[in-house]
Amino acid sequence: MSGLEDKIVVVTGAGRGLGAAFATSLAMAGCRLILCGRRMGDLETVGRAVTRLSGHHPDLVTLDLADAPSVRDAVKQIEARLSHVDILINNAAMWLESSTEPYEDNAVLQVINSAMAGTFLFTQGLRSLMEASEAPDVVTIGSISGLPNAALQSVSVPFYAAKHGQTALAEGLRQTFAGTDFRSILVNPPYLDDVQPDHPDWKAAGQRRKGQRGTGRDVIEAVIFALTRPRHVSLTIDIDADEGGLHPR
């Protein structure tokens, strides 16, 4: 028993990478899923994989967190389909690597708006559905880039700032949720290798030695651990690794 059976979970950024791994892992844990992402084709591919591995048929909702009308429309779609939401996993983020050339205006706006404004508005929009849950949890997938005095490494300043903003968002939610049934959970991953539950690399990730990079499996297991703690406990988890972590070799 996972402790998550029959939970209704909304996952953003579910069309690929870590979000896709969340989808499969949570479905196999017995959750009912609403998968959100910018491209319906990617969501459909993930949805088929989820069904094949778990028998679960997730709901799919197009969502661009950098676009406020898209956020509003996604919230309306979810409200029309569900009576409540137990868990929101704010996983979506737009990557922007460091560059010696000027960044395009739109790229900077998308990175910051999706991570901060869009994530906040989507969370705010789903609050009434989550208030109908007996045990509502908001999970923010941040980054070690959002920690105080973290090294830039290969990330851009806009991405670095956006992840600091997400850390503040999770902390602000935690303070806002004090005295309510809500928990705000924050997990800060390092640089990751992408692994999926239906691939042999997933099992091998559990045998990695110290000095190797973190994987998506590490993040998902940290989130599941945090979600299954007693309700009086809200966790912030920093996942570090020698390779791609806070103190890169």
Would you say residue 86 lies in a domain? yes
Q: pLDDT tens digits, residue range 43-71?
A: 999 999 999 999 999 999 999 999 999 99
Angle formed by the axes of helices 157-177 and 119-131, nearest 10° = 20
Checking phi first, is residue 18 left (phi over 0); if not, alpha (psi -120 to 50) or beta?
Answer: alpha
Would you say residue 116 lies in a domain? yes
Query: How crowded is residue 55: how many other Cβ atoms within 10 Å of its Cβ?
Result: 9
Would you say residue 247 lies in a domain? no
Q: What percent of the chain has pLDDT over 90?
A: 74
> What mean pLDDT comes out for the span 80-105?
91
Q: Token pair for residue 211?
A: 């000095």
Which range, of 24-33, 90-99, 158-167, 206-215, averages the lowest pLDDT? 206-215
Q: Within the chain, where are the H helices?
A: 17-28, 40-54, 68-81, 105-112, 119-131, 157-177, 200-205, 216-227
Which range, of 78-92, 120-134, 206-220, averages the lowest pLDDT? 206-220
More confident residue, 93 or 228: 228
Checking phi first, is residue 3 left (phi over 0); if not, alpha (psi -120 to 50) or beta?
Answer: left
Q: Cβ(115)–Cβ(161) under 8 Å?
A: no
Would you say residue 245 lies in a domain? no
Would you say residue 22 lies in a domain? yes
Cα dihedral: 225, 5, 39, 169 (round 10): -40
Query: How crowded is residue 78: how many other Cβ atoms within 10 Å of its Cβ?
Result: 21
What is the residue-averaged pLDDT of the chain?
A: 93
Q: pLDDT tens digits, residue range 116-145?
A: 999 999 999 999 999 999 999 999 999 998
**Which residues, in sequence order, are bridge partners of residue 97?**
155
Say yes or no to pLDDT of 159 above 80.
Answer: yes
pLDDT at position 94: 85
Q: What is the largest CA-CA distance in the chain?
A: 51
Q: What percent of the chain has pLDDT over 70?
A: 99
- Domain range for 75 is 8-238
Q: pLDDT tens digits, residue range 223-246?
A: 999 999 999 999 999 998 887 778
pLDDT at position 204: 74
Say yes or no to pLDDT of 202 above 80.
Answer: no
Give the CATH number for residue 183. Answer: 3.40.50.720
Would you say residue 43 lies in a domain? yes
Q: Which of 218, 225, 166 is nearest to 192 (CA)?
A: 218
Q: Token pair for residue 109?
A: 């706006």
The number of folded domains in the chain is 1
Would you say residue 47 lies in a domain? yes
pLDDT at position 1: 52
pLDDT at position 205: 77
Would you say residue 249 lies in a domain? no
